Amino acid sequence: MFDYCVSIMDGREFEWESQLRFYWDKEADELIIRQCTGEFGYGYEYMGLNGRLVITPLTDRIYLTLTQALSMKLGGAPAGPAGTGKTETIKDLAKALGLLCIVTNCGEGMDYKVGPFHRQTHVKKSLDLFDPFISRPMAKREIDSII
């Protein structure tokens, strides 16, 4: 079992820093989201009144890993068995950040020609999710990652 009764005595402790936290910046009149060293402006993308995922230690770790990668202008590729919630967790993170999540289903017919289409539909404040990216052959993954 997990022990969620952690006493935080300082705002710089990792247990506090590793949580997805929301702050209102009065000077900038903007909502700021922080997690460890990552800091993001809220995207204000309305996703409707649908449900959210249950936050578990695993979703916390995925959020932490992806927000740190995003803060360094990198991406992430969660790996694991099918049906374990990787796609839904990324979509829920996008919702928490107020970002549009564009899901592209990668099939066998997808090739490098999708690049110009993807660049045209790309929105500045969005998370792009290629699903299932890992199941594609290595040569095609390299082409897609260049796009």
Is residue 139's pLDDT more than 50? no
Nearest C-alpha neighbor of 114 from the set 92, 82, 140, 86: 140
**How far apart (Å, rounded) are the C-alpha atoms in residues 50 and 40?**
23
Do the beta carbons of residue 31 and residue 60 sit within 8 Å?
no
Q: Is 112 exposed, middle or buried (0-12, 13-18, 19+ CB in 10 A)?
A: exposed
Nearest C-alpha neighbor of 23 from the set 13, 34, 36: 34
Q: What is the pTM of this model?
A: 0.76
Tell me the per-residue pLDDT of 20-75, one tens digit each, with 9 for 90 and over.
999 999 999 999 999 999 999 998 888 777 777 888 888 888 999 999 999 998 88
77 or 71, greater pLDDT: 71
The residues with which 35 forms a beta bridge, in sequence order, are 38
Calculate what percentage of the chain has a pLDDT beyond 70. 76
